[in-house]
Chains A and B, each alone.
Chain A
């Protein structure tokens, strides 16, 4: 009897050996899930304003000092990184998934490196990667000092 051999959702997070695009795919999924969870928590947190200023202020302090230390800015920075990655990769996907910045059909040549995963697609990754770094630096600087770079 034939048996099932589905790789299942766990293989979304197995980018090893499948190249850069697969890594970015796995990260995109991870950051997407993280952002979804963050959004729920965020709505819960801001809805506490309904309970009056005292509760609100207490929660703001609690969130800034989780686990008894001033970890708030670090957590915020992490959320920022996650969001910036998801946004930048989303821009890249919107472009390439519409067939833009991809090569025309070509003649494959040994060793058959796929051109759709390289070339202009790679250029996009680099340019958006630089954007991501710049935005993150400005954002993290703002989170920690309150000043715009």
Chain B
């Protein structure tokens, strides 16, 4: 069995063309496409292809990567028109002879495939992605049951790759929009029972450029490599905001707070 699985491994299966958008900040030129021919072996990812170009064909090609296993979230780029992690995309699975690689959209380009993610991190910071408490120093552990953890656990999987903002049609025209990543993290922290920062985050989340700017096109959830489903977080966050108008939202864990109903979906 194993011999069959390994048959052809290490041999060149076919040659594909990579068409990569190049931008050199030191030249006064607009980005342009350059083509490279690459021998593809079984198991080769798009990132391997780019590294092959860097080693053998053109050393000046720049890209971001680190883990090569879909954990660090550095290698997001637009591959054949859709945001993907280059290290998680098999060339042979794409089934195309021409692979078009663009840097992520809606960010600046630093060089070639390297996006300028400062906007993403700034937005992430704005929603205060940490647990907020009244006391400065914790006196004991803050308790949480497994069921309470399940209410936000999926949103902790975010690896900050930034592909959701690249796919988002609202981010495409509105620079100030917080973006799916930050809003999902906002929801993650206010639905954490140990956190008391709902009111502190309110003016950022409940604003024109915040949760109400989303049009639910679902593109963020479609491209997210970790299944974080930021679109779901945004809609659930809206539900919290609208209920907050009628029933003043009290966070679990506040002194004398009544046990509030789960902020998660109603379905």
Contact = CB atoms under 8 A, between A and B. Distances in A.
* Size band of the interface chain B makes with A: 35 or more
A101 B239 CA distance: 12
A8 B232 contact: no
B131 interface: no
A3 B216 CA distance: 28
Nearest to A111: B227
A8 B224 CA distance: 21
A9 interface: yes
B207 interface: no
B222 A114 contact: yes
A106 B154 contact: yes
B205 to A, nearest CB: 14
A18 B221 CA distance: 9
B155 interface: yes
A19 B218 contact: yes
Interface in A84-121: 93, 96-110, 112-117, 120
B66 interface: no
Given A16-B81, A104-B267, A116-B235, A11 B216 contact: no
A82 B110 CA distance: 42
A12 B105 contact: no
A105 B148 CA distance: 11
Given A18-B219, A108-B229, A103 B115 contact: no
Given A105-B151, A112-B225, A6 B236 contact: no
B39 to A, nearest CB: 27
A120 B267 CA distance: 8
A2 B216 contact: no
A94 B26 CA distance: 49
Contacts of A25: 169, 215-218
A58 interface: no
Interface of A: 1-9, 11-12, 15-22, 25-26, 28, 93, 96-110, 112-117, 120
* 3 closest residue pairs by CB, A with B: A108-B227, A99-B239, A112-B227
